[in-house]
Amino acid sequence: MAESPVRRRVRATGRVQGVFLRDSTRREAERRGVAGWVRNCADGSVEAVFEGPPDAVSALVDFTRAGPGHAQVDALDVAPEEPEGLAGFDVR
């Protein structure tokens, strides 16, 4: 029996814009079968929503916490939300 999907909203702060965090997150989400979106925010942070199997969502949260190459994630806020049945992953 498949586990019920989960949803997490994350906000990364630090050096997270202009370092390919959004595109890297999209590729990782697609690789893991996680739906959702990621976007830059006016305050310099990056916000994302991940929805899918619990293990895959948890791995994507960990990926975001580490960030790609030149990113420096100083803090990652993670909040659970009710899944909405999203499909695909968008960079906004």
CATH topology of domain 14-86: Alpha-Beta Plaits (3.30.70)
Q: What pLDDT digit, counting tens, does each position of 23-82 carry? A: 999 999 999 999 999 999 999 999 999 999 999 999 999 999 998 888 999 999 999 999
Q: What is the 3-state secondary structure (H, E, C) of the chain?
A: CCCCCEEEEEEEEEECCCCCHHHHHHHHHHHHCCEEEEEECCCCCEEEEEEECHHHHHHHHHHHHHCCCCCEEEEEEEEEECCCCCCCEEEC
Token readout for 19 is: 């370092």
Contacts of 31 (CB under 8 A, 6+ apart): none
Q: What pLDDT digit, counting tens, does each position of 36-52 carry? A: 999 999 999 999 999 99
Domain residue ranges of the chain, discontinuous segments joined by + = 14-86
Which residues belong to the active site?
Answer: 22, 40
